[in-house]
Amino acid sequence: MSRGMNEVRIVGNVGNDPEIKTLDGGQKLVNFSVATSDSWLDKETNERKEVTEWHRITLFGKSAEIAEKYVKKGTLVLIEGQLKTRKYNDNGTERYALGISVPPQGFQILSGGRKAEQSEPPQQS
């Protein structure tokens, strides 16, 4: 039986400054959105068309700490992970949300981040 494959790779610009939370126990959690766009030439109108998709990203631990320090709106990032469905309760209604599970090595700042006073942001590999 095949195990299948569940891989996601997104390269895009951050659409908002990260939202930072500190969990019980002190671990950081960071949320932000990343935009990816696709464009094409409409053959009927000969106009360039574009559609933008927004991807909600959540980082934990060391990745979250790096994002907190260096990511801002407009930063170009690489996100690699797996699609995961999570179940939650919304006022008694069971709902599902699709998100991207990002391991520590699945987050890189490619350009446009905040600069540290003395050094560049570390890249995770």
Per-residue pLDDT of the chain (125 residues; tens, 9 = 90+): 678 999 999 999 999 999 999 999 999 999 999 999 999 999 999 999 999 999 999 999 999 999 999 999 999 999 999 999 989 999 999 999 988 989 989 999 999 877 654 344 555 55
Cα-to-chain-centroid distance, residue 40: 24
26 within 8 A of 60, measured Cβ to Cβ:
no
pLDDT at 117: 44
- pLDDT value of position 116: 55
Q: What is the pLDDT of residue 108?
A: 95
Residue pair 15/58 in contact by the 8 Å Cβ criterion: no
Query: In this structure, what DSSP letter does residue 117 have?
Result: S
pLDDT at 124: 55
Q: Is 55 helix (H, G, I), strand (E, B) or coil?
A: strand
CA 13, 109, 24 angle in degrees (round to 5)?
95
Domains and CATH numbers, the chain: 8-40+47-111 (2.40.50.140)
Q: What is the pTM of this model?
A: 0.78
